[in-house]
Structure 1
């Protein structure tokens, strides 16, 4: 059963005057959409309003997003200056994003850089990975390393080189290693909580004001497979 974030159970990994970083749960939607469900951004605003006893509206800028069924690090800006600088930093790929994924079929190579060309289908909210460039495609690149093998699954550490829609999910599916629980991309069954085993594990970036290097690691969910991997 997924536990949606509230202002009272929010897992804050880092906060200062300019930014706040949280560990997203399965089912949290980072920013509002057509579902009308309460987004994580609103939960963080409520948390900040109560914690700092702010009388008026709370500013909070969404810097990047995670898919709803995924977990892990989400960075928000608390000031407009921080937001514009972080947006520029993410746009210029000056950040280092590391993900963990649990896949059903262990890839043939222990480590590999995958390059595909992704075509997004807005009708069913998926992206298809092609080996060669095709019309309306965008180049996607990542490097994975198999770091643990279990009885039925393998755990991969993934470094993103680009930030495309459903990139990790579609690229791993294309090589025959869909993420556990990811029915959209070839998993044979769903997870009980409706999530998938993809976790934004680590984020390294320069602070938008101090320019210090910030390194954040998010614990994986308290769940059987994740716990076995994290041991």
Structure 2
């Protein structure tokens, strides 16, 4: 049984974890145990905290996605982190594996997204439509391995299912993502989308945090580790997030 999460960073204000695919961040109608529950138990046990633990996710990752999730441990941290996300002062980098090569090596995608909460699916439109939210990301192809392409994604906005539906609209659905047009599911029901890096100014300490979530420990993902060397040579990472 793989661990549901690993701790990446922890202090009195924040808990940042690397979530395994398949774990819900917050409760839904399935009633399955959530990452929030598991992390509250971790804090309670580690610090011998009797009673309720204050711990709130500041953002979400879809259930089949792996990678970085930030929790606030105080109401002050929650308020300030929420503001950072809202003002788009949190820089996010994802890795996605797709089967089809994108037409362009790199580019920017802009769509208007409408979420159907009943069906839990988002639709993307080229032009503005009623109730739609503008959604933007930049992408860059990192290279090809065994018939698959690795893309680096940098979302500018944070909409539900945004990366999944925008890549699907580009005719590059994410491997395993049958909801958005991939031909077959992954055996473990994950999709090959991983929240890899987050960079932001600590809400209380005011220092810059560079957080990285290791790729899932499974053979398909691990073969892409060789692209990390290319990535680490890209020193622009810490200054610019324009892709």
Aligned residues: 226
TM-score (norm 2): 0.91
Q: Deviations over 1:177-199 (max 9, x none)?
A: 00000000000000010010000
Residues 11-30 of structure 1 correspond to what in structure 2 (within 5 A)? 11-30=6-25
Report what 2:136 is aligned to: 141
- Aligned-pair CA distance for 1:27: 0.9
Gaps of at least 5 residues in structure 2 are 227-243
- Aligned-pair CA distance for 1:133: 1.4
**4+ long deviations beyond 2 Å:** none
Report what 2:205 is aligned to: 210
Q: Deviations over 1:51-84 (max 9, x none)?
A: 1111222110110000000000000011111111
Alpha-carbon spacing, 1:180–1:21, altered in 2? closer, same or farther (3 Å) = same
Among 155, 165, 173, the residue aligned to 2:168:
173
**Alpha-carbon distance in 1 for matches of 2:220, 2:70:** 26
Residue 214 of structure 2 aligns to a residue in which SS?
Answer: coil
Report what 1:32 is aligned to: 27
Report what 1:82 is aligned to: 77
**Alpha-carbon distance in 2 for matches of 1:30, 1:122:** 17
**Alpha-carbon distance in 2 for matches of 1:28, 1:133:** 33
Report what 2:190 is aligned to: 195
- Aligned-pair CA distance for 1:137: 1.3
**Alpha-carbon distance in 1 for matches of 2:121, 2:16:** 27
Gaps of at least 5 residues in structure 1 are none
Q: CA RMSD in A?
A: 1.1
**Alpha-carbon distance in 2 for matches of 1:144, 1:174:** 13
- Aligned-pair CA distance for 1:224: 2.2
TM-score (norm 1): 0.95
**Alpha-carbon distance in 2 for matches of 1:218, 1:97:** 12
Q: Does 1:153 align with 2:152?
A: no
Residue 145 of structure 1 aligns to a residue in which SS?
Answer: strand
Report what 2:237 is aligned to: none
State which drifts further: 168-177 or 133-142.
133-142
**Alpha-carbon distance in 2 for matches of 1:228, 1:4:** 20
